[in-house]
């Protein structure tokens, strides 16, 4: 588990490379900033990564995102072959639900 600031938790990201982790942190930080600016009652964000199918030269990632807004969880999940596209999609989905 990796804690970023006081309101971001990354779970399962220890398996990815350091260079990828830097991009992941920036992406998650950017979405968290958007949520804290636009969603009233935003408390924290937890993103969980699971590598589902790992074959030579190919991986499939499963992402779970949970934002706590005014004590209520808002969740989303996505499965994608691309780490960054999947992460962006799951965060975009949570932001859209939380902004309603």
How many structural domains does the chain have? 1
Could you tell me whether strands 42-55 and 8-11 are parallel, antiparallel, or unpaired per DSSP bridges? parallel
Residue 59 sits in a domain whose CATH number is 3.30.160.100
**What span, in angstroms and rounded, lies between the C-alpha atoms of 56 and 1?**
26
| pLDDT, averaged across the chain | 94
Q: Could you tell me the pLDDT band of residue 74, with boundaries at 50, 70 and 90?
A: very high
- Which residues have CB under 8 Å from 95's CB, separation 6+? 31, 34, 35, 38, 39
Tens-digit pLDDT profile for residues 21-33: 999 999 999 999 9
Tokens standing for residue 95: 């932001």
């Amino acid at each position: 588990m990796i804690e970023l600031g006081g309101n971001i938790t990354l779970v399962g990201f220890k398996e990815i490379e350091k260079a990828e982790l830097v991009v992941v942190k920036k992406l998650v930080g950017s979405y968290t900033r958007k949520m804290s600016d636009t969603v009233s009652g935003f408390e924290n964000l937890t993103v969980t990564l699971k590598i589902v199918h790992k074959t030579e030269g190919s991986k499939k990632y499963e992402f779970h995102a949970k934002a706590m807004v005014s004590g209520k969880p808002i969740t989303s999940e996505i499965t994608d072959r691309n780490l960054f596209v999947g992460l962006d999609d799951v965060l975009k989905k949570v932001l859209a639900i939380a902004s309603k």
